[in-house]
Each structure stands twice: as C-alpha cells, then as structure tokens.
A and B are shown apart, each in its own frame.
Chain A
Amino acid sequence: MEENEFFGEKTFQHYCAEFIKHSQKIGDGWEWRASKDCSDGYMCKTHFQVKNGTAVSHQGTSAHVQTFLPVEEALDPPLDDLEVTETTTAAEVIKYEYHVLYSCSYQVPVLYFRASFLDGRPLALKDIWEGVHECYKMRLLQGPWDTITQQEHPILGQPFFVLHPCKTSEFMTPVLKNSQKINRNVNYITSWLSMVGPAVGLNLPLSYATAASQDEGNVGGQDSSIERKSLEEH
C-alpha cells in the first residue's frame, strides 16, 4: 500500500530483519513468521522459565514467594535451596511467547504476548506480573501507554495480551529525532523493544544496541530505507 509515512510496513520488516540477524548471531531466539498468504508476518520469540513456588507460613496466612530462574539454573540446583522452610511446591515451567506485529492503523510496531504452563493452561495477566521486576512495574504504571489488555491476535486469531500502541509514536519520536541530530542511526525495533519489553518480562541483551549502530554505521543521519537497502546489496 502506501509507504510515504516514516514507519511504513516495509520499513518495519526491514528493521525486524536486521534485528533477527543479530539475534541469530547471539542465539537470542527471535525469528520471522510469515502469514499463510505471505502478504505480511511477524517477529516472534518463545522462551521458557521455571517458576519456583515456595509457601511460607506467616501468622497463619501463607505468602507465596516466587522467583523466576532461567531453565539451566533450575535443572541443577544445590539440594539445600530446595529444602526451604515449610512446604515446597513443584517447580513449574512456563512458556512465554512474544510477538511483534505491525499496526497499519497506527503505523508502529505492537507487542503481543502470552504465557502458559506446559499443559496448555494459560497464565492470567496477574500471574505474568508476578514475574516482572518491581522497577519495571513502576515504569509500566507510569509509562506512556494506556494499558495492557487482552485482544485477539490479528494473524493467529487467539487471545494475547497487548500493550496498547496508540502512544508509541509519542515516546519513539524523541528517540528518533535525537538519533538524527547526533547522526547516529538506530534500529527502531531495537529501541522500541528495549523500552517496552522489560515491562512485560522481555529483556534485550545490550549487544543489540551496538549492533544497531554498527549496521547502519556510516550512513547519513536522514532516515532512508533506500540507503539501507543499498547497504544490504553488498
């Protein structure tokens, strides 16, 4: 369709492709999935985390202390750690899925996510929250987005949680203006995902940032997907 806006769908796909290149280098697990009719697609990542539930008795009421460990650590823990105070519930593995889609209405990327136990039982939003670090919770509450709501995934048709996209261009514009000022190119997807991701449990290794400026290294400060394309032709 029309590509005269700053962040059109082709530009989105280009940034995703660059992002995925780096992800492949560092084994971060992002991949591109095309829709059945191949007219569009999305970027996605699945990762697993172990939820270690420990019930602690406290004045007759029980409080749950939950920590999220990367799978490798959980598989071989020292025995002492498991024998905690009162009862220890079985560790459960949770599957997290993150999808990055393009919204043609708002002309920005949108983050869709969901989590479920291995048997398919979905996690409610409040359960996902428990795995988010405190400081990111604060950011989410103060962030320039309306809310997280449950919505239908536009390509898969299944329920996902979504960070509402209507304010995205508001907080991304200063980021991009600034990068143009200092003549340094950024990968829109990298910048955006590094801001919204942690609020919902998704972290980006720092190497993405250096990769972004290296890829676009010597190109002039103006945004130009055309210039980038010519880089890729080498």
Chain B
Amino acid sequence: MTDDKDVLRDVWFGRIPTCFTLYQDEITEREAEPYYLLLPRVSYLTLVTDKVKKHFQKVMRQEDISEIWFEYEGTPLKWHYPIGLLFDLLASSSALPWNITVHFKSFPEKDLLHCPSKDVIEAHFMSCVKEADALKHKSQVINEMQKKDHKQLWMGLQNDRFDQFWAINRKLMEYPAEENGFRYIPFRIYQTTTERPFIQKLFRPVSTDGQLHTLGDLLKEVCPSAVAPEVPMPEVCSWLPTWLLASSAEGSHLPSLWRDWEEDGPRLSQQGAENRRNQSPGTETRAVPKRRFTEEDRRF
C-alpha cells in the first residue's frame, strides 16, 4: 500500500470547481449571488454545502425555506452518491465550473432520499463501509473495530483528514498473507445509459487457476456491453474506501480517468478531454462569468 500512497492522496484530494446558483423561482428578498466552492470528489453534497445553504438563506425568508436539494440540468442530484461520481456521470463532458442549481422547495420525493441531518449521511456512509467489508472479510474486520474507530472513519471524511481516515481504513484494506486478496471485490458500476442505478455482483479478485483478475476482467464479466476496443473505458466508480484495490490491481488505469481539477489548468478525464477537443469554439455554454478559484473555495 505504501507505493500507492500517492494514488490514495490524489483520490482523496480530488476537487471539482463548482458554481451554485439559486433556482430562479425561489422567492428572495434581494438578488442572490452565485456561490463558488471546490467540492471534494470523495464526499457527499449535503455534507459539504453548509456554507452554500447559509449563503442563499441570507436572502430568503424562513417561511420560503424547506429541505435543500440540488439539481444539474434538470436532474435532481442524489446526495447519497459521492460527488465525484455525480460529476463523472452527468457533467464531465461539460465546461467548468460545474453549474449546480440550488432548490429550497418542491422536494422531488420520487427521486431523492431525504437528508434531514448529518446523522443520516453518517449512517449511509457507514452502511456502505459495512457492506463493502461484508464482501471483503465477511464483516470480520469492521465488526472487530470499536465504535470509536467507526467514528474516526466518519470524522476523517467529514473533516477532510486523510491521515485520520486512513489510519482506520488501512485495516479494511488488508487481507491475510495466505490469501491472494479479498473474498469478493466490492464494486458498483454506474452508467447513464441504463435504467438500473448500478451493477453490483459477486466477483473474486483471483480466478480459479490462481490468476489475479484485472479491472478489464471484471468489466468483461459483469458489464460486457461496456468493453469495446475503440471506445474509452466507461466511467467507473467503486465505493469510497475500496475501489483503490482496483487501482493497485494489474492493468487498471482508474486514476487517469479521474484527474482532479487544478485551478488554472484542469487535467481532464479521457472522455472529457476528447469531448472538449471535438467541441467547436464558441459553443461552450457558461452560466456565469469565468472565475479563478482560490484557497478560500477549498473550505467547505
């Protein structure tokens, strides 16, 4: 895992420059300025947008405010999906910044889970971690941990503390020396083209004859339609603490698909870069003027 430390850091510190605009039909007492933020890829929308909420609520009356929700080009954003996943699925081929619309009324009950408190986000996150460990270790590692370890995992995510998080997560990424890997690899494949939200199946890291499986093997087996010679790899997202196994397995180029956006010269995903090259000049739509993101925008 030490060789992969750079990869772990790259993934953890990945950011998406985002511009939040209030939905035009919300009732305001005065004009609402857009709000800019660098969103962490590995976190959740409702966990990192307290400042966004406060900013817009300043220009609204209390009675016009109910549960906040976010939307991109008409699609309600599922807060329980990691931010990086949402972006890759919906907006990676569009110009930056990512333009998200903020709503305070007409919560879309049929599409979105409610998020009444941070506890709900924590419960969801921990539930994902537990399910991943059920696949990796028959839940042995997660169940042997103390409550304070679980709490540390959560606090590490909430407070953007890489070391705090990985002090615990590394235990979830270990396996006995005699084994060649986890029992099953926890993964989910998201595609915009399917009705089904994601593909999740049992998949062993090692084949019956002892060969280590690659990411390509996994895709061939569970998502054969996605693998084609001339087409770039589909956007693939695994669960937060576990997808990095895929990155250290042979033949994976996952990190190169997900570059983080730098302030003055974003390095883009393969697909995004191609789309951008193919776009004719002057056709980029931009809702708000170009703006340089600063250190301040990292603080969510």
| Residues of chain A having any CB pair with chain B under 8 Å | 1-2, 35-37, 104-106, 120-122, 147, 149-155, 157-159, 164, 166
**A104-B200, A152-B197 known; A159 and B109 CB under 8 Å?**
yes
**A159-B109, A159-B110 known; A166 and B200 CB under 8 Å?**
no
Please provide the 8 A-B residue pairs with the shortest distance between their CB atoms, ordered closest to farther: A157-B197, A1-B202, A105-B131, A105-B134, A122-B109, A150-B113, A159-B113, A104-B202
Contacts of B113 in A (CB 8 A): 150-152, 159
Contacts of B130 in A (CB 8 A): 166
**A37-B196, A155-B196 known; A150 and B202 CB under 8 Å?**
no
What is the interface of chain B mostly: helix, strand, loop, or mixed? loop
Contact B134 A166 (CB under 8 A): yes
Contacts of B195 in A (CB 8 A): 36, 157
Contacts of B203 in A (CB 8 A): 1
Whose C-beta in chain B lies nearest to the C-beta of A151?
B113
The answer, yes or no, to whether B198 is at the interface (CB within 8 Å) is: yes
The answer, yes or no, to whether B80 is at the interface (CB within 8 Å) is: yes
A104–B203 Cα distance when bound, in Å, is 10
Query: Which residues between 71 and 130 of chain B lie within 8 Å of chain A, taking CB atoms?
Result: 78, 80, 109-114, 120, 123-124, 127, 130
Nearest-Cβ distance from residue B220 to partner chain A, whole angstroms: 14
The total number of A-B Cβ pairs within 8 Å is: 58
Nearest-Cβ distance from residue A210 to partner chain B, whole angstroms: 34
Contacts of A150 in B (CB 8 A): 113-114
**A1-B203, A154-B200, A157-B197 known; A105 and B135 CB under 8 Å?**
yes
A sample of 8 cross-chain residue pairs with beta-carbon separation below 8 angstroms, ordered by A number, consists of A1-B203, A2-B202, A105-B200, A150-B113, A152-B80, A155-B196, A158-B110, A159-B111
Contacts of A147 in B (CB 8 A): 123
The answer, yes or no, to whether B213 is at the interface (CB within 8 Å) is: no
What is the interface of chain A mostly: helix, strand, loop, or mixed? loop
Contact A159 B202 (CB under 8 A): no
Whose C-beta in chain B lies nearest to the C-beta of A2?
B202
Contact A164 B202 (CB under 8 A): no
A147–B127 Cα distance when bound, in Å, is 11
* One of B80, B111, B112, B134 near A106 (C-beta < 8 A): B134
Nearest-Cβ distance from residue B105 to partner chain A, whole angstroms: 15
Nearest-Cβ distance from residue B124 to partner chain A, whole angstroms: 8
Contacts of A158 in B (CB 8 A): 110-111
The answer, yes or no, to whether B139 is at the interface (CB within 8 Å) is: yes
Nearest-Cβ distance from residue B52 to partner chain A, whole angstroms: 23
Contact A35 B196 (CB under 8 A): yes
Contact B123 A149 (CB under 8 A): yes
Contacts of B201 in A (CB 8 A): 1, 104
The answer, yes or no, to whether B204 is at the interface (CB within 8 Å) is: yes
Contacts of B186 in A (CB 8 A): 105
Nearest-Cβ distance from residue A93 to partner chain B, whole angstroms: 18
In the complex, given contacts A106-B131, A166-B139, what are 5 additional A-B residue pairs having Cβ atoms less than 8 angstroms apart? A1-B203, A105-B200, A154-B196, A154-B198, A159-B114
Interface core residue of B135, B139, B196 (most chain A CB under 10 Å)? B196
Nearest-Cβ distance from residue B196 to partner chain A, whole angstroms: 6
A122–B109 Cα distance when bound, in Å, is 7
Contacts of B109 in A (CB 8 A): 121-122, 159
Nearest-Cβ distance from residue B119 to partner chain A, whole angstroms: 11
A181–B269 Cα distance when bound, in Å, is 58
Contacts of B114 in A (CB 8 A): 150, 159
Contact A164 B127 (CB under 8 A): yes
A105–B135 Cα distance when bound, in Å, is 6
A114–B230 Cα distance when bound, in Å, is 43
Whose C-beta in chain A lies nearest to the C-beta of B201?
A1
A195–B197 Cα distance when bound, in Å, is 29
Contacts of B112 in A (CB 8 A): 159
Contacts of A35 in B (CB 8 A): 196
